[in-house]
């Protein structure tokens, strides 16, 4: 069950100094009575989406799917502390702020063993178990005397502070992850062509190889080189060469399938990972690219259109290829060199595949 909560702090009529953003989320795990108590309390001190559930044993898949900012657990429920441990042991979930709440007042428990500081003992166990915070919670309805009212007000403030602290930490984490994503995208992107760069290929190819082997599906790789690119730079200048690289990259993108991933390997050389593609299918893709590149001029500017061709080498994943893709890359590159030495503007396949060594 999800509910949207907003409002003022209960009984104290003090609004939060740092308003909780509306996209913040809280998951409450506990008995029906515990949920009712928390929902009534949260209704006045938070502005967020709250979801409730009852069983700690069944909540981990929900946490993995929903990834709430704050998790509030009923301390007395079996499995609550173990759930904290499981969350903190998973890198993908460890940032979730876990608050363990005991709804039984300390003085009632101390009657069992007088003189023992149960609150400190339970708090130490909770923090050692992975909880970020631990607190006691008075019932929402009591005798109405001044001491109970004062205690309830203080606990409301504490709960509010714990939730704000948790959401604040999560926001810092999320912002850091967004920054890291931007930096990673910058590090893995070629600024000229807007394709992924060689570093990205070094990261992606092993992942694709592992996926192909786990799923038992084929994988192929194309290596492309723009023919006579040095003469373009020499005759027209590097700005024209850069523009050709941009137009060439755009034409690649527009003529690839959804599962194909292009990379600028370096200079005028490109690589394309063909997922779930065998050698024969890779040859068809390569020949289509060869025609798309060579059959239409590249309009560099209003006064200049250049005829561009490309040489392409193909390799398909073999059982004895290494997991990093070094041997796969080497074979594709060797076939590319064969295509260039045999006259350029052609596709060269694996030795065990039918080869079209004539211009496409």
Quick one: 2-186 is in which CATH superfamily?
A: Response regulator (3.40.50.2300)
**Separation of alpha carbons 185 and 194, rounded Å:** 10
Q: Is 268 designated active site?
A: yes
Q: Where are the domains of the chain?
A: 2-186, 198-348
Among the listed residues 111, 268, 281, 350, the single catalytic one is 268
Domain 198-348 falls under CATH 3.30.70.270: yes
Distances (CA, A) of 179 to 68, 170, 204, 353: 20, 14, 21, 45
SS (H, E, C) 233-276: HHHHCHHHHHHHHHHHHHHHHHCCCCCEEEEEEECCEEEEEEEC
Element (H, E) at 53: strand 48-53
Task: Bin 199: left if φ > 0, else alpha if -120 < ψ < 50, else beta.
Answer: alpha
Q: Walk along the chain (360 residues) and give the pLDDT tens digit of each residue.
A: 555 444 332 332 333 334 444 468 889 998 888 888 888 877 765 567 888 888 777 788 888 888 899 999 988 888 888 888 888 888 888 899 999 988 755 444 444 444 545 567 777 777 777 888 888 777 666 556 667 677 777 877 888 888 888 888 888 888 888 887 777 777 889 999 999 999 999 999 999 999 999 999 999 999 999 999 999 999 999 999 999 999 999 999 999 998 999 999 999 999 999 999 999 999 999 999 999 999 999 999 888 999 999 999 999 999 999 999 999 999 999 999 999 999 999 999 986 555 555 454
Within this chain, domains 2-186 and 198-348 share the same CATH topology:
no
Residue 74: exposure state from Cβ atoms within 10 A (0-12, 13-18, ≥19): buried
pLDDT of residue 140: 62
Dihedral of alpha carbons 76, 82, 88, 91, sign: negative
Rg (CA), the chain: 31
**Separation of alpha carbons 40 and 226, rounded Å:** 68
């Amino acid at each position: 069950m999800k509910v949207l909560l907003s409002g003022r702090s209960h009984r104290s009529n003090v609004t939060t100094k740092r308003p909780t953003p509306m996209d913040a989320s809280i998951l409450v795990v506990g008995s029906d009575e515990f949920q009712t108590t928390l929902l009534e309390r949260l209704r006045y001190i938070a502005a967020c989406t709250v979801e409730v559930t009852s069983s700690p044993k069944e909540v981990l898949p929900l946490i993995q799917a929903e990834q709430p900012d704050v998790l509030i657990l009923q301390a007395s429920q079996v499995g609550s502390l173990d759930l904290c441990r499981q969350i903190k042991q998973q890198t993908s979930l460890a940032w979730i702020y876990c608050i363990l709440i005991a709804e039984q007042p300390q003085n009632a428990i101390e009657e069992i063993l007088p003189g023992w500081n149960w609150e400190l003992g339970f708090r130490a166990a909770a923090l050692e178990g992975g909880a970020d915070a631990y607190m006691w919670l008075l019932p929402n309805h009591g005798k109405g005397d001044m001491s109970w009212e004062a205690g309830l007000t203080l606990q409301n403030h504490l709960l509010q502070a714990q939730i704000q602290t948790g959401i604040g930490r999560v926001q810092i984490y999320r912002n850091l992850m967004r920054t890291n994503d931007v930096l990673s995208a910058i590090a893995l992107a070629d600024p000229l062509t807007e394709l992924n760069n060689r570093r990205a290929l070094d990261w992606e190819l092993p992942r694709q190889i592992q996926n192909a082997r786990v799923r038992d599906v084929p994988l192929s790789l194309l290596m492309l080189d723009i023919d006579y690119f040095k003469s373009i730079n020499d005759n027209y200048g590097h700005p024209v060469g850069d523009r050709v690289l941009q137009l060439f990259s755009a034409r690649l993108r527009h003529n690839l399938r959804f599962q194909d991933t292009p990379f600028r390997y370096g200079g005028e050389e490109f690589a394309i990972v063909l997922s779930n593609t065998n050698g024969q299918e890779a040859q068809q893709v390569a020949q289509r690219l060869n025609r798309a590149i060579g059959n239409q001029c590249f309009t560099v500017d209003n006064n200049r259109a250049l005829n561009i061709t490309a040489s392409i080498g193909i390799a398909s994943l073999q059982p004895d290829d290494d997991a990093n893709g070094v041997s796969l890359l080497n074979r594709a590159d060797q076939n590319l060199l064969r295509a260039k030495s045999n006259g350029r503007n052609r596709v060269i396949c694996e030795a065990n595949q039918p080869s079209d060594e004539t211009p496409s």
